[in-house]
Amino acid sequence: MNIELIPAIDIIDGKCVRLTKGDYDRKTVYNEDPVAQAKEFEQLGFKRLHVVDLDGAKSKHIVNDTVLKAITANTNLIVDFGGGIKSDEDIEIAFDAGAAMVTAGSIAVTDPELFLSWLERFGAERMILGADVRNGKISINGWKEDSSEDLLSFLAKYTDAGVTNVLCTEISKDGTMQGPAIDMYKQVMARYPQLHLIASGGIGSNSDIIALDRAGIPATVFGKAWYEGKINLRGLGI
């Protein structure tokens, strides 16, 4: 397989949780200790980890940086961190806490100049553009609001500016384990083949990952399917 596999840890109140379709009222706690969960992923051979500060996304500023710092201090995982990154102070806190990369989405909609300043300051290799999609539009602020930005035009603006990493989530599929939005990802890759596109949302089985790999999608993030025991690494030849 060529696809990069990236497990996810979403954090609320310092705990490892998953939501369904971004609904904070539909929350399941899978591990009280995110650091222990991160260590488990590392022991299984994963190199990357996607960490989302859901409290931060809701509060519009970074909240769980202490959890991030504990994960990066106790593992060698390459951690990308997102959720509530809205200011220079937020992004500096994230990098100081050990994030190798930062995912920023809402700010790229609400304050493009600030996002572009981060792209120039930290480099394209350390910045991931978050493109969270609902009904074809980019959603912001912990998926609480929909913007007027269309996915492809949103990506065009930032690929032209040098973005190379994009995390794209289909919100209607997130946490459902009913299959990823493969056609949407194929459309993105056909338009922007240079992107390191990370598909997120809907992964429910090994077959979903295999389908993304066959479609030429470079990477995928998964969470609930892993915690529910629906993904088997041996079945993926790993």
Known catalytic residues?
Answer: 10, 132
Cβ pair 151, 133 in contact under 8 A: yes
SS3 label, residue 173: helix
The conformation of residue 236, written as its DSSP 8-state character, comes to G
Taking the CA atoms of 92, 93, 94 and 95 in sequence, report the sign of the dihedral they define: positive
Long-range contacts of 136-141 (CB under 8 A, 24+ apart): 138/105, 138/109, 139/22, 139/171, 140/105, 140/106, 140/109, 140/110, 141/57, 141/58, 141/60, 141/106
Q: Which amino acid is at 98?
A: G
Q: What angle do CA 231, 235, 236 make, to 5 degrees?
A: 85
For the chain, strand residue ranges (E) read 4-12, 15-20, 23-31, 48-53, 78-82, 101-104, 127-134, 137-140, 145-150, 165-170, 196-200, 219-222
